[in-house]
Amino acid sequence: MISTGCVFALDIAVRQVVNLRFHSHNCTELIFILRGKGQVVTCEKEYPYRKGTLIIYQPGGQHADRASEDGLQFCIGAQGSLADCLPVGVWNCGDAVWAAVNDIRELLPQPDSKMKTMEMDILAGELCRRILHDPALQKIDLPNSGTDLCERARQKLDTHVNSSYSIDQLGKDIFISKGYLRKLFKERYGESPVTYLLRKKLELAEEMLKMTDCPVKEIAAKVGIRNPYYFSALFRRKKGLTPTKYRLVYGVRKQPQQPK
């Protein structure tokens, strides 16, 4: 009885990406980098990969590939007792593992048949066995090697408080879907990216209302809100006062100059 089965196996040509698409599988997925480099994005971290890297995901693990250059990857899905034991992560592996990969890839051009399916199952099991017993297997997980996506997003928002920066653009800039970003950001900071950016804009507007004589229309523009009427309504809803009344109550009064 075969303890491990091959669910899928194929070479994938990878292109540089702008928008990441997170996904998961119902089986163990092994990705061997044949050519190219980039970053693996999973949960809140991203790790670099290059030619010769092995990436392992267990079922349900959300992940995406941020390719920094065109490349080629061999992907195989496996299930069964050996596949279930494979360690999740980004790895360097030895020659014996790569020899098993080559054996599987040599079968790919052959027409589908019961014999091919059986051979693929056997070779997938052998590949998993070699990974589990590979003395050269080394995890690529150095201290500080992961980049915190939430922190990158927060820093990006902080630098765009005075512009009409959108969450759509933020997602593109850090290569993550806005829905997944919203989920991670709220889990980390307790508020959505939109709410965070809006709060920072209003905090900046408060300071300008207190410390300057800039017209409300100009302040709205300086915090990236083009419509001054929308800005005034938003400010009143969040702060309980119109911008003009807020300035009257909290603004720093200029002291009259003493006669010489």
Under DSSP, is residue 94 helix (H, G, I), strand (E, B) or coil?
Answer: coil
Distance of alpha carbon 203 from alpha carbon 201, whole angstroms: 5
Whether the pLDDT of residue 21 is over 90: the answer is no
Strands ordered across the beta sheet of 71-80: 4-14, 71-80, 28-35, 53-57, 89-92, 138-139
- Rounded to the nearest 5°, which phi and psi values hold at 202? -70, -35
Mean pLDDT score of the chain: 88
Sequence spans of domains, the chain: 4-139, 149-250
* Separation in Å, CA 152 to CA 46, 148, 196, 202: 12, 6, 14, 21
pLDDT digits (tens, 9 = 90+) for 82-103: 999 999 889 999 999 999 999 9
pLDDT digits (tens, 9 = 90+) for 197-253: 999 999 999 999 999 999 999 999 999 999 999 999 999 999 999 999 999 999 885
Range from 11-15, 16-20, 76-80, 105-109 carrying the lowest mean pLDDT: 16-20
Distance of alpha carbon 205 from alpha carbon 102, whole angstroms: 62
CATH-assigned architecture of domain 4-139: Sandwich (2.60)
- Supply the pLDDT for residue 242: 96
CATH fold of the domain at 149-250: Arc Repressor Mutant, subunit A (1.10.10)
pLDDT digits (tens, 9 = 90+) for 143-198: 444 446 788 889 999 999 999 999 888 877 776 667 777 888 888 899 999 999 99
